[in-house]
Structures are given as structure tokens and as C-alpha cells.
Amino acid sequence: MFKDKKYYGEIWLKSNEDEKSFCVLEVCDGQIQLETNLIDKLKIYFIDIIYGNFISLGHLTFVNCSIKHSSSGITEARIYKPKYTFISAFHQIEPLKLKINEFQVDNSAIVNWVRKMHWYNSIENKLEIEGEIKNVIEITKKELNLTIVKSTSQTTNHKYFKLENIGFVNFTSKKQLTIIECIECIEVYNKFQKLLHFIYGKSIQFKYFSFKCLGCSNWSSLYYQDNLSKNNISNFITLDYDSIKDELPKIVTHWFSDEDISFCADIIIENLLAVKTSHSRRFTNSYSAFEAYSLKFGKTVKNSTVEKSLLQHQVIIQQITNIPYEKLKGYIKKIIRTRKFLVHRTNANDKCFTEFELLYISFLLDFVVGIGLLSQMEVSHKIINKIIGRAKSTFTDMQAVNRLLNRNILDSIQ
């Protein structure tokens, strides 16, 4: 969206449109900063909306502008950090009045997820180009159409001819959405991103977030720093597009329509996005996710407990862990005992799992909940078995390798 690091223009406030100030717009680590001498004496921490015109960008509207730095002397200067930036080639965007029903987000993670490549045919000396992939899904309950597209853009000049794979998701709503009042369209896109994390394990900062203004019927853009982006793929479910494309309509419909599924999945996604979280914290999150799943989707039993709920999934747990049936109850009790120790510090930790083991218990609980949620979304047994195989590899093989790599000879010295 921003090809240069710096742009030059002028900005002003709604309360004083005649007083315009020179401004340098700089993009630093994905965050927009405005360096200017525009001052509102009554606002020392925050300005709601700033308007501007910039060379090579057009008409800009900055929303929720915190004051990052302020200096005074012969002249006064401030650096503002807006949360949302609207860009239009046609007119100034009024965010509080803006209504839309169609928007499109370019996210390169979709390209990696779909994984369709062009290739050069050296025998016939020609480029074989894959056709566009388009999956249109209607979410009736939400009056929303979602279209996943993997396509190709091309650039040509006298120096080169360039083909680039692009991936984007298009949303079309039968009702009008607002951007600022309820952040509705951002929440809709965030919900899609969470699904991408859940089934693929990755989503990155969008390149373009474009929307069609109902007032003028022209396309404009929105920019903000995305908090749900993560470049590396997680150790959770990683299903490529081809393996689930036929079942994707069911998955997407349930994901957007069933709030109970979102309620449970959000805790797992928090684990997937977490950076430098301790294994014990990750484990307690996974335990909470399982409790939430049992509350929403578990079988109703008399005097229900977490132990009884875990035993309802004993077949999947045994498939993943290879724990014999006669040892399963003891293993489950140890999980519960460990959680009680971490939360309440009520018993000795020598009867609990180690910090290293907690990471893989956390993976186990996440997979049990993930498999349960996908079953609620009517996913086929073929996909479920594939995920169980992935879970077994993570829990058994990865744990064995990392146990060797983390072995400390000093621990054996008494």
C-alpha cells in the first residue's frame, strides 16, 4: 500500500480547516507517523480525527491519533500516531458517516495456503499459467458472501515482464456495514483471519484493504497495523487449501454463524499468536479452552467434572499419545492436579508435569478441542484422521526429539 517510506503533504483539523500545516508522513515498522507543527492547544494526548492531502497518496483521513512525541522551543512540533488511516483518490473520507457493503483484503498468506504455481515448459518453450481459483461461500445467517481468490497480476515495461501470485478475500454484505462506529468490517476480516490461523496456522499483514464507498461508488483504502498477523506457521492444524476446498463452505458457515465455536477457538488462537509465553501459561490457556468446549459441546453427565469430560475423548487422546488404557485415568488426573497447582498452588509440584512436558500437554488439549470443533463444523473423518496424524507427530515425535535436545547432564547429578 505504501511504496515509499516518506510522503509529504499538509494536514488540518475539522475545527479549523483554513489553518493547514506541512506534514511528513513516515511508515516505521508498519506504523504510520505524522511529523508536523499542527497543534491543538486543548488536546495534549489524543486527537480524534486529522485530515490531510499528500503527494502520491491523495486525500487522507487519520483516526484515533495519539501524540507520540511533543517538543517546544522557537517552534512547536508533534509526532502523531494514528490507529486508522483512510486513503481516497476522490474525496476526503468522513469515517463516522461512512457506509459500505463490499470490501476486499489482499493477504499473501492466501497465496501460500492455496499453493498453485505457474511453471515453465522447457520442452515447448512456453510458460504454463495456472488459472484463477475462486471459491464463493454464502453465509446466509449473516447475510454475507465471502469469496476466496488466488489470482495473478502482471507488470510489464521495456525492462521486464513480471508475473506475481496474489491472494485476497472479498466480502459482500446485504446490509450496510460501518467502519468506525462498530469497526464491523474489520471484525469480519479478523474473523476470517482467525479461521486462517485455525485451519492453516498463518496470516500476515495485509497489502491492501479496499472498500467501495456507497456515497460515491468509488473504491478507497484503509490501513492499520494488524494485530492478528504472524509470519511463521504454528504447530497446530495445518490443512492446505486443496485438502479442504470441498468442505470449506461448511467450515466457513459454521465459523461465522456459531458464536460458541468462536468462543472456544479464540482461546486456542490466543495461544497460536502468543510470543514468549511460558509453557505453564500456555497450558492453563489450553485447559480453559477445553473447559469452554466441554461447557458448550460436551455430553451432559451427572456431576460433570473435567476428568469425566476428558475421558469422553479417551479414544482421540490414546491415538495421539499412545498411552495404554490402564494408565489413562492416572494421566488425566495428573493433568488436573497440575492445573490446580499452577492456579491455586494447593499441592506439591513434585506430582505435576514439568515445564517442558506442559508444552506438549497444551498441544494435546488444543488438538482435542480443535478436532472437536471441526467435528461440530461437520468436517469429514478423512480430515479428522489427517489432523490426528499431525497431532501424534507433534506430541510424540517432536517431544522425543526436543527432549533429547533439551537434556541437561547436570540434572542427573545428585
Which residues neighbour 364 within 8 Å (Cβ) at sequence distance 6 or greater?
A: 317, 320, 321, 391, 395
- Rounded Cα distance between 268 and 410, Å, is 35
> 4 is written with which cell numbers?
515509499
DSSP string, 153-175: EEEE-SS-EEEEEEEEEEEEEEE
**Residue 409 has what pLDDT?**
56
- Rounded Cα distance between 365 and 286, Å, is 6
What radius of gyration, in Å, describes the C-alpha atoms of the chain? 26
Residue with cell 475545527: 15
> Domain spans of the chain?
6-88, 99-223, 258-409
372-409 b/e with 16+ CB inside 10 Å = b? bbbebbebeeebeebbbebbeebbeeebeeeeeeeeee
pLDDT in tens, the chain (414 residues): 788 889 999 999 988 888 999 999 999 888 999 999 998 877 778 899 999 999 999 999 999 999 998 887 777 889 999 999 999 999 999 988 888 889 999 999 999 899 877 777 888 888 787 788 899 999 999 899 999 999 888 888 888 888 888 899 999 988 887 766 547 888 899 999 999 999 998 888 999 999 998 888 889 999 999 888 877 777 788 899 999 999 999 999 999 999 999 999 999 999 888 877 899 999 999 999 999 999 999 887 777 899 999 999 999 999 999 999 999 999 999 999 999 988 887 666 668 888 899 999 999 999 999 999 999 999 999 999 999 999 999 998 888 888 877 766 555 554
- Rounded Cα distance between 349 and 337, Å, is 9
306: exposed, middle or buried (Cβ count in 10 Å: 0-12, 13-18, 19+): middle
Which residues neighbour 266 within 8 Å (Cβ) at sequence distance 6 or greater?
A: 194
For 202, 261, 273, 373, the CA distances from 265, given in Å and listed in that order, are: 15, 6, 12, 8
- Rounded Cα distance between 346 and 302, Å, is 26
**Residue 49 has what pLDDT?**
93
SS3 of residue 380 by DSSP: coil
DSSP string, 26-83: EEETTEEEEEE----TT-SSEEEEEEEEETTTEEEEEEEEEEEEEE-SSS-EEEEEEE
Backbone angle region of 131, left / alpha / beta, with phi > 0 → left and psi within -120 to 50 → alpha:
beta
CB atoms within 10 A of CB 17: 9
Half-sphere exposure of residue 316: CA atoms within 13 angstroms, side-chain side: 23
Residues forming beta bridges with residue 28, ordered by sequence position:
31
> 374 is written with which cell numbers?
471441526
The closest of 282, 264, 278 to 373, measured between CA atoms, is 264
Taken in order 232, 238, 240, 246, the sign of the CA dihedral is: negative
- Rounded Cα distance between 323 and 312, Å, is 15
Which residues neighbour 29 within 8 Å (Cβ) at sequence distance 6 or greater?
A: none
pTM for this structure? 0.88
For residues 130 and 170, is the Cβ–Cβ distance under 8 A?
A: no
**Residue 408 has what pLDDT?**
61
- Rounded Cα distance between 46 and 40, Å, is 10
Architecture, CATH, for domain 99-223: 2-Layer Sandwich (3.30)
109: exposed, middle or buried (Cβ count in 10 Å: 0-12, 13-18, 19+): buried
